[in-house]
Amino acid sequence: MAEPMTRTPDFPDFDTYPAASALPGRALPPADASNEAMNNAAERVGNAVGSAVAVARRLPQQLNSTLSSVKDRLVLVKGRGVREVNARAAGLKEAAGNTARDAQQRARYYANEYPLHVLGVVAGLAFLAGFGLRIWRGSRG
């Protein structure tokens, strides 16, 4: 369990903010004409830092607007892509259905017009399948 912290000189007490200067000889020099160049440089640095801070504060809003516009574009592209894929899939499904119907019609036609030929073809295929399976089984054992 955590022990309560005791006050020691290692942990100063900051009750008197702002505190008096620790080193009285370290004060800023008085402003005069000889420091004019330094004051101008300091103003320019301050303005640059202020501008950078303003840009940094606006950055999250700009990023949010950019991200939302990119997200909107991606949603549009995704929607368009999904529609195209669905249309393509529907076309392929229709073509496959047409091909299957044509094959069924041809099979019915041949079964009705040439029944002995169809039986001969089925018997021949069954014979070849049995022969192939027998050879395959014999080569495995």
Full residue range of the structural domain in which residue 54 is found:
43-113
pTM: 0.38
In angstroms, the CA 113 to CA 49 distance is 94
Residue 69 falls within a domain, yes or no? yes
What is the CB-side half-sphere exposure of residue 114 using CA atoms within 13 A?
Answer: 9
Q: Is the pLDDT of residue 21 over 60?
A: no
Number of domains in the chain: 1
In a domain, 64, yes or no: yes
Q: Please report whether residue 106 resides in a domain.
A: yes
User: Does residue 1 form part of some domain?
Assistant: no
- Over residues 22-46, mean pLDDT: 72
**32 within domain boundaries:** no
Q: Residue 80 pLDDT more than 60?
A: yes
For residue 71, the one-letter residue type is K
131 part of a folded domain: no
Average pLDDT over residues 36-47: 84
The dihedral over CA atoms of 81, 83, 86, 88, expressed in degrees to the nearest 10, equals -70
Is residue 141 assigned to a domain? Answer: no
Report residue 60 CA to chain centroid gap. 20
Give the span between the Cα atoms of 102 and 96, in whole angstroms: 10
Q: Tell me if 71 is assigned to some domain.
A: yes
* Spatial distance between the Cα atoms of 123 and 75, rounded to a whole number of angstroms: 58
Question: Does residue 23 or residue 75 have the better pLDDT?
Answer: 75
